[in-house]
Amino acid sequence: MILLFLRNYFSCQLSDSTNQAYIYGIMKKAVLIFFSLFFSLSLLAQDNTKPKKVYQFEIKEEIAAPVWRTTKLAMEEAHEIGADLIFINMNTYGGAVDAADSIRTKILQSKIPVYVLIQNNAASAGALISIACDSIFMQPGSTIGAATVVDQSGEPVPDKYQSYMRKKMRATAEETGRDPDIAEGMVDPDKEIEGVSEKGKVITLTVTEAIEFGFCDGEFNTMAEVLLHSEIGEYSVIKQRLTTTDKIIGWLINPAFSGILILVIFGGIYFELQSPGLGFPIVAALAAAVLYFAPLYLEGLAENWEILVFIAGLILIAIELFVVPGFGVAGIAGITLTITALALAMVGNVGFDFRPVEMNVLVRSFLISIIASTVSVAGSILLAVKLFQTNAFASLVLNAVQNKSEGYTSASSEDAALIGSEGLAYTDMMPSGKVEINDRLYDAASEAGFIEKGQRIKVTDYTGSNLKVRLL
């Protein structure tokens, strides 16, 4: 109607048809612009009255695989529900660099603004994650920094790892508009910044210093205070709720627990090989293997071929022990494949492509596998010796019925006189079995290694209810 009125008005005032068309075109565009602005402002007003969705989760433990998993779940859920803001409550002394880098990358790639409220500490890996956020807020008395990479004993690791962390801190600060030199100085004690730090000291900032140097947007106690300061207006808070399954998976993929499972796997296999038949040790080993690989498989870390390599390694070990006397190529290959599979299952390779995997992460995985398996076997050997030397556990070695009519006899203190005697292995000994001495059968255990049935042996000792023998 407005457009029609203007057209009629100008038609009456202007006789020239060209001028009429020109003026009409201008009026048409003006009206269209007016209505576009009107509807845009209306929609904006409606949007402002709608409460904002604030998705909240916490990082309040050592930065490791479980924290990376919960952060990934939180970021994905926040995007799925269309959150307007992601809010992290943080209090951590740091942790694994690889997990921190994964979290940092996820935050930088977020299409939703991410705020972090540091509640006391954001050290080391925590500092890297904080700097990746769009806004950093700190509670009174909090600190941020001290990102030097250290080992388990707290000593700084070689410079190649420090260099990696320095560049990650610098690149993250550049991406979020913070001073990259200060970020790098949180890792490098040799980085001297006038008015900020002296040479020989890594940077750790208090709240006041962090505000001064642009690493903190304000000092607040609660999320509510932060949102009021940020003029968020009305909002609703959606907190992360982890299911029982999520908590169990997070617990199982912890590197420390993975090391314990490896101990059980190798310990169970060793004890099962000490006696014939299938028993509790192999059940424990299989259960530990399932608990080890299942969560890693569900998280996309362990792949099908890595599980097959693990199974192939176990088969080779079994062949070496049960088919081929002694210990050679098959046994060494089996152990190598088993340890390799356990290590590779911890890292996030894609098929046979290991380019996404940082070298320090791969080295750590192999160290966990090698150390855990070595400790497991060594500990199992020592424990087996102690157990089989006692009367209470000696019966676990052999369970078959032993009849006198078949030439069996029970060991007693008189059997100590057999030390130095020679005889034959009546059964395969791995290391437990039976020996024949002077046409009589005795329970015995090999001092070291496998003894094949029929090989000549010599009695070296008598402990508990067992003879100790060695191969002649």
- pLDDT band at 397; cut points 50, 70, 90: very low
Instruction: Give me the pLDDT at residue 21, please.
Output: 57
Which pair of structure tokens corresponds to residue 327? 């210990």
- The answer to whether residues 467 and 411 touch, using CB atoms and an 8 Å cutoff, is yes
Instruction: Give me the pLDDT at residue 37, please.
Output: 57
> Identical fold at 52-242 and 397-471?
no
Instruction: Give me the pLDDT at residue 204, please.
Output: 94
Domain 52-242 fold = 2-enoyl-CoA Hydratase; Chain A, domain 1 (3.90.226)
Per-residue pLDDT at 398 exceeds 50: no
Instruction: Give me the pLDDT at residue 275, please.
Output: 59
| Residue-range domain boundaries for the chain | 2-48, 52-242, 245-388, 397-471
**Candidate from 32-41, 120-129, 287-296, 395-404 with smallest mean pLDDT:** 395-404
* Contacts of range 180-188, beta carbons closer than 8 Å, 24 or more positions apart: 182/213, 182/215, 183/131, 186/127, 186/145, 186/146, 186/147, 186/148, 187/147, 187/148, 187/149, 187/162, 188/148, 188/162
User: Would you tell me which CATH number, out of the four given (3.20.20.60, 1.10.10.10, 2.60.40.10, 2.40.50.140), belongs to the domain 397-471?
Assistant: 2.40.50.140
**Candidate from 134-143, 193-202, 386-395 with smallest mean pLDDT:** 386-395
Residues whose CB is less than 8 angstroms from the CB of residue 446 and which lie 6 or more positions away in sequence, other chains included: 429, 430, 431, 432, 433, 469, 470, 471
CB atoms within 10 A of CB 384: 20
Model confidence pLDDT, tens digit, residues 282-336 = 888 889 999 888 888 877 778 899 999 999 998 888 787 666 655 578 888 888 9
Work out the mean pLDDT of the chain and round it to a whole number: 81
- pLDDT band at 181; cut points 50, 70, 90: very high
**Percentage above 90 pLDDT, the chain:** 33
What string of DSSP letters covers 106-162? Answer: HHHT-SS-EEEEEEEEEETHHHHHHHHSSEEEE-TT-EEE----B-TTSPBPPHHHH
How far does Cα 3 stand from its chain's mean position? 67
- pLDDT band at 251; cut points 50, 70, 90: confident
Model confidence pLDDT, tens digit, residues 104-156 = 999 999 999 999 999 999 999 999 999 999 999 999 999 999 888 776 666 77
Instruction: Give me the pLDDT at residue 239, please.
Output: 95
Residues whose CB is less than 8 angstroms from the CB of residue 359 and which lie 6 or more positions away in sequence, other chains included: none
